[in-house]
Structure 1
């Protein structure tokens, strides 16, 4: 139980990081010492190995399934996932309220987080070649264009939510890049944090006799996002892991440059909301940005010796 509690608390710390754009849950996994174990467990999952579950009446099939579950460390993954989910449910409400009620300091904070993370990660690339410069330029332009589109509003269709879940899950294998960052780029951050809060409120309301319709509506969106995340875990996370293993510097240059290009979005949000409240001032945005950048640089200072 002590080990499970430790893993659960580490999951909470990872989930707390992934709710904030610019802070990576994978970096937290490195800090708390479970990154390698997590990657091994994720990459060892083979859906074909669960075929014995279709024959629960067969003692040999049950034994085979039990061996397979032990091999992929299912208790570890479930406990860690429960911790991550707990943090996401609690903090998504806080972040949604901050982004909608205090957009200027909140997006100023996001700008500082993302900009400082990009600076830190650029330092890990090493030698710059022509190919890496080209990849970096393409990523900056791509993110700049995409965030320009998402800033004007993106439909929250099931397909978009599904793809957002599949992409956001890649943050589990990417130290320095968070799932919330990808949601921000895709224009789904405020929508998903708000929908999750509505879903949780609806579940609590059921205990008090409220209608079930809001739960079904918001729960469907959450389920679609979750299915996308699960499939992304078996596909995109493996692709990104392979790219990092074979072409680490170029892949890192591309991902970090996405962060640079995406800075257009928090700048747009800050500019659009200036003067709309007592906190909607340039000074508030700058101060929040400095706090965000300082937080990232402080974490980097004490984790500089960690190997990604």
Structure 2
């Protein structure tokens, strides 16, 4: 139980990191000493185990099924996922409320997080060849063009939500960039926070005799996102890791470019959410930018021995 509690708490820390753009749950996994185990467990997942479910009717089938689950380290993933989910549920509500009350300041905070993350990863990246420079430029241009282009104003296509889940989960294998950063770039971050908050509120309301219909719309969005995340866990996470194995520096350069290009979004959002610029508001935004950068740079300072470019075999 002590081991499972430790894994759960590490998942809470990972979830708290991944819910904000720019702070990586993968970095927390490295700090906590479970990164290699996480990558190995993801690589070991085999959907063919579903074919053995009909055999659960027999004692032998149940025993084999349980052995297969432990061989793939599924219990570890479930406990870690429970911790991540707990943090996401709690912090998503806080961040959603902050978006409602202080949108410009919060976007300033995200600007600091993303900009500092770009600096941290660039520091360990040798962008010294035409190919690597090209990868960085492609990432920057792509993020600049895409940032906010698919932004959801209270609704989004389920296909986009599905793809966002698949893309965001791939960040689990990327120390240095979070899944929330990908959602932010795609313009789905605030929408997903709102959908998750509305879904949880609707579920709580059901306990008091609330309507099931209220939970359906946000519930569908959350379920579709999770289905996309599951597919991404089995496919895209491996593709991203393969890209790292084949050309690590070019891939890191591309990620740096993504974050640089994505800086367009918090600037535009802060401007769009502000009708009157006052000295106090400008000071608050600047302070938020500095605070966001300090969080990432401080984390990097205290984990300087960790190598984002270290190769991990999948």
Pairwise TM-score range, normalised by the shorter structure = over 0.9
Structure 1: gaps (5+ residues): none
Aligned with 1:56: secondary structure? helix
Aligned with 1:274: secondary structure? coil
Aligned with 1:55: secondary structure? helix
Aligned with 2:125: secondary structure? coil
Does the 8 Å contact 1:107/1:267 carry over to 2?
A: yes
Show CA shifts across 1:58-85 (max 9, x none): 4443332222111111211111000000
The structural deviation recorded for 1:272 is 1.7
Aligned with 1:281: secondary structure? helix
Q: State how many pairs are aligned.
A: 308
The structural deviation recorded for 1:261 is 0.2
2:206 aligns with: 206
Show CA shifts across 1:148-203 (max 9, x none): 52458696111010000000001110111111111111111111101101111111
Distance, in Å, in 2 between the alignment partners of 1:6 and 1:179 is 23
Structure 2: gaps (5+ residues): 309-314
The structural deviation recorded for 1:116 is 0.4
Does the 8 Å contact 1:153/1:187 carry over to 2?
A: no
Distance, in Å, in 2 between the alignment partners of 1:51 and 1:135 is 41
1:140 aligns with: 140
Name the CA shift for 1:154/1:147 in 2 (closer, same or farther; >3 Å). farther
2:311 aligns with: none
1:119 aligns with: 119
Show CA shifts across 1:78-104 (max 9, x none): 110000000101110111111222011
Does the 8 Å contact 2:132/2:249 carry over to 1?
A: yes
The structural deviation recorded for 1:218 is 1.1
The structural deviation recorded for 1:297 is 0.6
The structural deviation recorded for 1:215 is 1.1
Show CA shifts across 1:99-118 (max 9, x none): 22201110000000000000
TM-score (normalizing by structure 1): 0.96
TM-score (normalizing by structure 2): 0.94
Does the 8 Å contact 1:112/1:291 carry over to 2?
A: yes
Distance, in Å, in 2 between the alignment partners of 1:280 and 1:139 is 35
1:53 aligns with: 53
Name the CA shift for 1:99/1:277 in 2 (closer, same or farther; >3 Å). farther
Q: Point out the more displaced range, 167-176 or 92-101.
A: 92-101
Distance, in Å, in 2 between the alignment partners of 1:85 and 1:30 is 19
2:258 aligned with 1:253: no
2:179 aligns with: 179
Name the CA shift for 1:154/1:195 in 2 (closer, same or farther; >3 Å). closer
Distance, in Å, in 2 between the alignment partners of 1:55 and 1:83 is 31
RMSD over aligned Cα atoms: 1.7
1:194 aligns with: 194
1:43 aligns with: 43
Aligned with 1:183: secondary structure? helix
The structural deviation recorded for 1:307 is 2.8
